[in-house]
Amino acid sequence: MRVTRARAQAQAQEQGSSKTEAIAAKVQPENLGDDSEPGSSDDGEEYGSKKRKKRNMKTSTSPTKRAKKTQDSSIKKSAGKRKKSLSLLLTMPLDVLFEIFGHMHPRDLVSLARTSKIFKQTLLASDAVTVWMAARKRLGGPDCPPYMTEPAWTALIFGKPECIHCGVRNVHKVDFMLRLRICTTCKKSNLVVESKFSKMFPDADKAVMNLLTYTNVGGWAHGSASKNRFFWKADIEKMIKKYAALKNDIKLRRPNAKKVLDEFVRERQEMIKKIIELSPAHEEWLDNEVAERTNNNYTVQQQRYEDIKARFIALGYTEIDLQYAAYIPQVTQATPLTEQAWKRICPIIEEKIEEAKARRLARDYANLKLSRQRLVARLYKDHVATVERSQWPYLPHPDDVLFYEPFARFLNAPFSAGAIYEDLQDARQLLPTIIKDISDAKKAKFLSQMSTTTGDSAQQADSRSELQAAIEESRFDLATLVFAKANLENSRDHPVVIGWQRAMTHSCWTPERLEDTCGWSSESGVNPDFITLSFSQKGSDVAKKLVELVGLDPHRATIADMDAREERFWCTKCLPGQGFRGRVRTAYSWKDAVSHAVSSPHGDDSELETATFEVMSPSELNQYMQSADSIPPSWRYRQWTCARCLDYFNDYARHPDTIQHVTTEHQILMPKEVEDYFVLDKTCWLRLGVAVPYH
């Protein structure tokens, strides 16, 4: 009988060095025959056999040179080659080898048994059962059930968390009823519910189901047990063949065939009964083991994080800089930190910490600038309290003064300067001059744009002259006084601003624009590019036609007059579209209609007729007013404030809240815009029109 490689090499060591070469030659891969397995550690290449063959072929013609080689040098060379292989491990006595294996983790023991056929034969031998038992008991694993072997049981409860069917990772749950570690996807495709057994296996005997292990947790149950029985498809197919073979033996009248079948059925039923009895305890142990392993990994992760944090603090970083490090993959690993690992991951972690630090500093500086901006607004509010109340609706937006010194310097001061309200007290005396400069600059720019230019028709020239005269006479509420973003009249994202009051309070401030300026002084004046609004001749012409459509005089109609009419308009150039509730058509208020005509091109933009409107019929208007969408979009924004007190001056409110405030606090039953409340316009994009059903 041929000895195994492990036993042969153990005998060689006991018999002395004189017999080592002879026994080693017997266990070389060339002499293992069918026992060698391609791709394992038994390959001849691992032992150097292929190289020896080539060398022997070349030197076979030179026996004299080969004879000169001493026995010691050949043994030394052979030993040097074998150091590259784990095969020398098997030259140790089996009792010592098994003692070493018993101290390995069961998962490593399973991996070792799968490395080569020799290790597999050694660890699966009957006398190696103690190795598996020692490894399992050392970690507190449950006893092996009678229906499984020690290696199979150890692989089931301590194996890698991978699906045994598809190999997907992170499958920590073991189905002890099926004795399988399988993922949810494989369960869905491989489990057969009892009610579908006959349909899927119409020729099979239903008695087979009583011989199969099953589970009560299906693939679609999300881990919850049910009253149904689910069988593994591969087990069904094997059992059908096995049961059919045993039944066929009875038909062939083979000796003891009926007894063999009865014994097989009895053993299977006892095994299933035992599985049902032991599975709850095994599941409880596995849940506890997974929870304990998770806690241990968390402890190791926390210790690794603390070690890395301590090292970076020693390099000069602060606690707040290292908060982001807790989410870096190189930090969250569940392995202790070593010097070698530290040298490898330190540059990677440091780069990410620096990036997070830069983002944090930028965020903190932006928050500080916001705090400074609020302090300027508070100072502006204190100044407005000293101004005549009738002038409040026409004052520039509080953010616009940030372009001026010393407010621009205060806003862009270094982070270390902080934000202190007392630092602005000396600048308060400059506010009247700054406010006057901004108002005068806007008025001068708008009036210059209204001057007659080359190419204007006589009608447009008369319209401009009338608006100039109205502004000079302080008639700021004309409905035909329309402004738009400069050079962006055809942009859909920038609707117009109607009325002198909104044009004067419209904010031109953005953080990006402020960074491009160094701050203006009262002596240098206002840069014209600072004012982003310009007079819109096209918008004024459209507003004039809308005023005429509702029967008012375009030379005298005010914004309040148009708002009081509550008319809605259709654009005759826009076709109905398909909406959520069927065919719809967009209805516009008169302000939205002006914005639509200016910002939405309708063919040749040089022709006014490219956007014409018609008034909604009374029935259509009544239906529209009953819908929630009839509320103007601008009313939903927090940009309204009271014109009789400063309660909402910096803490702006929505339109309904402002009306309620004026009604309850100032006892005005019918509040009027500008006189009782006004808007501090800072929103350049509003939804234009409301889609309503079209028939």
Mean pLDDT, residues 343-356: 92
Question: What pLDDT is stored for residue 69 in this prediction?
Answer: 45
Is pLDDT above 80 for 294?
yes
- What 3-state DSSP class applies to 404? strand
Say which range, 35-44, 73-82, 576-585, 607-616, has the weakest mean pLDDT: 35-44
Is pLDDT above 60 for 461?
yes
Pairwise pLDDT comparison (494 vs 582), residue with the higher score: 582
pLDDT band at 448 (very low <50, low <70, confident <90, very high): confident
Please give, one letter per residue, the 3-state secondary structure of 242-270. HHHHHHHHHHCCCCCHHHHHHHHHHHHHH
pLDDT band at 565 (very low <50, low <70, confident <90, very high): confident
pLDDT band at 347 (very low <50, low <70, confident <90, very high): very high
Give 193's strand partners.
230
- How many residues does this entry show for the chain? 695
Question: What pLDDT is stored for residue 651 in this prediction?
Answer: 75
Pairwise pLDDT comparison (608 vs 99), residue with the higher score: 99
Are 672 and 659 spatial neighbours (Cβ–Cβ below 8 Å)? no
Question: What pLDDT is stored for residue 383 in this prediction?
Answer: 86
Quote the CA–CA distance of 556 and 563 in Å, as a whole number: 14
Are 482 and 539 spatial neighbours (Cβ–Cβ below 8 Å)? yes
Tokens matching residue 153: 């049981």
pLDDT band at 348 (very low <50, low <70, confident <90, very high): very high
Residue 92, exposed/middle/buried by CB under 10 A (0-12, 13-18, 19+)?
Answer: middle
DSSP 287-311: HHHHHHHHHHHHHHHHHHHHHHHHH
pLDDT band at 302 (very low <50, low <70, confident <90, very high): very high
Nearest to 663 by CA among 644, 691, 648: 644
Is pLDDT above 50 for 54?
no
Question: What pLDDT is stored for residue 576 in this prediction?
Answer: 72
Is pLDDT above 70 for 287?
yes
| Torsion of the alpha carbons at 479, 480, 484 and 489, rounded to the nearest 10 | 130
Quote the CA–CA distance of 664 and 661 in Å, as a whole number: 5
- Which tens digit of pLDDT belongs to each residue from 154-196? 888 888 888 988 888 888 888 888 899 999 889 889 999 988 9
Question: What pLDDT is stored for residue 299 in this prediction?
Answer: 93
Nearest to 453 by CA among 531, 532, 535: 535
Say which range, 82-96, 381-395, 537-551, has the weakest mean pLDDT: 82-96
Mean pLDDT, residues 453-463: 63
- Which tens digit of pLDDT belongs to each residue from 359-369? 988 888 888 88
pLDDT band at 259 (very low <50, low <70, confident <90, very high): very high
- Which tens digit of pLDDT belongs to each residue from 654-687? 888 888 899 988 988 888 887 888 877 655 444 5
Question: What pLDDT is stored for residue 25 in this prediction?
Answer: 35
Nearest to 519 by CA among 436, 400, 602: 400
* Mean pLDDT comparison of 14-28, 90-104, 207-221, highest-scoring range: 207-221
Is pLDDT above 80 for 79?
no
Question: What pLDDT is stored for residue 465 in this prediction?
Answer: 74
Are 642 and 575 spatial neighbours (Cβ–Cβ below 8 Å)? no
Backbone angles phi, psi at 546, to 5 degrees: -65, -40
Using the Cα atoms of residue 580, residue 584, residue 590 and residue 593 in order, give the sign of their dihedral.
Answer: positive
Pairwise pLDDT comparison (619 vs 260), residue with the higher score: 260
Is pLDDT above 80 for 608?
no
Is pLDDT above 60 for 609?
no
pLDDT band at 580 (very low <50, low <70, confident <90, very high): low
- Which tens digit of pLDDT belongs to each residue from 233-255? 999 999 999 998 998 988 888 88
Mean pLDDT, residues 442-457: 70
* Mean pLDDT comparison of 53-62, 132-141, 300-309, 595-604, highest-scoring range: 300-309
Is pLDDT above 70 for 690?
no
Write down the pTM of the prediction: 0.55
Say which range, 30-44, 186-200, 314-328, 500-514, has the weakest mean pLDDT: 30-44
pLDDT band at 457 (very low <50, low <70, confident <90, very high): low
Using the Cα atoms of residue 311, residue 313, residue 319 and residue 325 in order, give the sign of their dihedral.
Answer: negative
Is pLDDT above 60 for 392?
yes
Question: What pLDDT is stored for residue 572 in this prediction?
Answer: 83
Question: What pLDDT is stored for residue 442 in this prediction?
Answer: 81
Mean pLDDT of the chain: 75
Question: What pLDDT is stored for residue 53 in this prediction?
Answer: 39
Alpha-carbon distances, residue 530 vs 1, 380, 394, 400, 611 (angstroms): 101, 20, 18, 9, 31
Tokens matching residue 480: 């035909």
Quote the CA–CA distance of 689 and 272 in Å, as a whole number: 71
Mean pLDDT, residues 401-425: 79
Question: What pLDDT is stored for residue 351 in this prediction?
Answer: 93
Is pLDDT above 70 for 130?
yes
First vs last Cα of the chain: how many Å apart? 98
Mean pLDDT, residues 304-330: 90
Quickly count: other Cβ atoms within 10 Å of residue 273's Cβ: 10
Please give, one letter per residue, the 3-state secondary structure of 316-354. CCCCHHHCHHHHCCCCCCCCCCCHHHHHHHHHHHHHHHH
Question: What pLDDT is stored for residue 558 in this prediction?
Answer: 87
